[in-house]
Amino acid sequence: MNIKSYAHLLVIPFGLAILLAGCASPSIMDNARNSSEVTAESYSQHRSAKGVVLLEVNWGREWSCGGYQNAELRGFGFDRVPSKAKSNDEAADLMLMAGPNLLQRSEFTSYAVLVEPGEYALAGFVIKVAESISKIDYWAANRSDLMKSGKYQGGQFNVAEGETVYIGGFGLNCSRAPQIWRYQTKEGEDFNSYLAALRKKYPFIDLKQVRVRLFQTSKFAYPSAKQ
């Protein structure tokens, strides 16, 4: 998917979206491919050496979002750190992208991804914003926005080999400019229901010892949310 074929990109610094003049900017979405969800075969082969990351994503259209008619989260990715310096348009180590717009509902979809153990940092995201049917743009936060003084500033999570870790749910916050946001399914009855649904989707995953270790961020989550 090459977003630049649809519209020019605008860059999002932390907290507020600021319009930058000029041509399209490179985006993490330019050369990205969705990370593969865990399969029974990959889980059996690599479970002990890798970790399983559990997360939820709401790809649905949010109406009256941050001053726009509507907005949609279109994709986001995480880099395994420390890593070699990457340009804005290089794919992230863990990447999730939305499917066709017409198929997306405003509800959370569960994912389980098998990854190399280590620390991961938010590397970028893209949000589609519409002022009307005919006026559509894309907000993009790239590595150059999220990395300051050689460190990623957007947030991190970590997973060890052999672990299964729930890092939260990702969607939009529309209270100001449309922004990626980390939510969570609270532990208790809601979380048990979430695990029950996961067992149906991924019956081969051992979910007896899931660790709740949320994506930690001071920029893209409510301060009161569990870290």
Q: Answer for the pair 12, 145: CB distance below 8 angstroms, yes or no.
A: yes
Structural contact between residues 140 and 12, judged by C-beta atoms closer than 8 angstroms: yes
Per-residue pLDDT of the chain (227 residues; tens, 9 = 90+): 333 333 344 445 444 433 322 234 667 777 677 899 999 999 999 999 999 999 999 999 999 999 999 999 999 999 999 877 678 888 899 999 998 766 667 889 999 999 999 999 999 999 999 999 899 998 888 888 888 877 888 999 999 999 999 999 999 999 988 999 999 998 888 999 999 999 999 999 999 999 999 999 999 998 754 44
Which tokens hold the place of 96? 């999730």
Q: Looking at residue 3, what DSSP letter applies? A: G
Query: Using CA of residue 190, residue 39, residue 126, residue 8, what is the dihedral sign?
Result: negative
Residue 24 burial (CB < 10 Å; 0-12/13-18/19+)?
middle
